[in-house]
Structure 1
Amino acid sequence: MTNSVDRRARASQKRRRLTAAAAHVLHRQGVERTTLADIAREADVPVGNVYYYFKTKDELVQAALAEHRAHLDELTGRLDRLATPRDRLGDLVRCWVGQRETAARHGCPTGTLAVELDKRTDGTLDAEAGAVIRRLLDWAAAQFRAWGVEDPDGHALTLVAAYQGMSLLANALRDPDVMTREGERLLRWLDSLEPAEG
């Protein structure tokens, strides 16, 4: 019985390593340039093992998207413990700025994947990437709504669009300071908002 439990635990850990590796490698290299061997190497598992867990590259892309969703849920879960919606949104911006070096090298993990997947004509993975971004939009809108700011959905769209734009520009220009400057501008914008009159 113990051997069976140990095998399942090792298999689960290996799948988890492959999923995390897929998210990292796809972010760095993109879908088209990434091979299953690249992911196996990153996860430190034999390439043959990849096929045991994932039959196709698309399954690995789905796993990477699940990893991005889990990361977003973990981040928003931490932010939800802060006292006010303004604090939560401000810390979200600070988290983005904290990733400025990565953004300058590779862009936003989910945003770049969504753009690349949209150019493919063979599936629905682009919609799955969009669903992760929608999750962020919905969380941000809930914060603006709790804050009492008018047009919470519009403000959420402005915030997330600004993040996507500053990530894209930081990447295109290879300049992490774009994230710093635009992050400061977003923080000033958040500070300028007031709840709607009751």
Structure 2
Amino acid sequence: MGSDKRTRLIEAANKLIHQQGFNLTTLADIARESEVPLGNVYYYFKTKEEIGSALIEHRANFYRGMIESWNRLPDPKQRLAALIEMVSGERETLAQSGCPIGSLCQELHKDGGPLADKSASLMAAMLSWAEQQFRLLGKEKESPDLALHVVSVLQGASLLTHTFRQPDLIARETVRLKKWIDSL
């Protein structure tokens, strides 16, 4: 029962922080969304930073699972295309709330500190995975720059999609990115 409440709190934090940001989301908001009494929240998370840390772990686990599923694809180009397609498939959500990783990293890094450092691991994992795919394509020396390009394009297009609330922006850019991957 206790882990159920903790899970509900993390899932509520994930939703609310993605929608309204870390700084604007309160523990009371999270308690209300999870239907856990506010007093009980402190049993699981003493501070907002603790729930922020748990949220980063939650997102890391989610993306690890995605990477595991992509890694089952037989070809690195297909794996990279799966990443791009996942982002494209989230275009409506991106238009409303931005990228769950990029937005969180950007907000937390304005204040700095341990949560900012921990959130950077989310972006680092994506870069590292993409770099590995380019290495498997035989792009040894270029791999870090190619990975940076893919992640930068996805993040930039996500930001513009959110800024202008136009899902077609990410759709257009991901089509172009997939064609580029196919040409390698």
Q: What is the TM-score of this pair, normalised by structure 2?
A: 0.96
Identity of aligned residues (%): 44
Runs of 4+ in 1 over 3 A off after TM superposition: none
Q: Does 1:76 align with 2:67?
A: yes
Secondary structure of the corresponding residue to residue 119 of structure 1: helix
Aligned to 1:3: none
Aligned to 2:96: 105
Of 85, 91, 103, which aligns to 1:94? Answer: 85
Distance in 2 (CA, whole Å) between partners of 1:136 and 1:172 is 23
Of 133, 148, 161, which aligns to 1:143? Answer: 133
Aligned to 2:25: 34
Distance in 2 (CA, whole Å) between partners of 1:92 and 1:119 is 27
Q: Does 1:177 align with 2:164?
A: no
Q: What is the TM-score of this pair, normalised by structure 1?
A: 0.89
Amino acid at match of 1:70: N
Distance in 2 (CA, whole Å) between partners of 1:74 and 1:21 is 20
Q: Does 1:162 align with 2:153?
A: yes
Q: Root-mean-square deviation (CA), in Å?
A: 1.0
Contact persistence 1:27–1:113 (CA under 8 A):
yes
In structure 2, the gaps of 5 or more residues are none
In structure 1, the gaps of 5 or more residues are 1-9, 194-198
Secondary structure of the corresponding residue to residue 18 of structure 1: helix
Distance in 1 (CA, whole Å) between partners of 2:130 and 2:171 is 20
Amino acid at match of 1:134: A
Contact persistence 1:117–1:125 (CA under 8 A):
yes
Larger Rg over CA atoms:
1
Aligned length in residues: 183
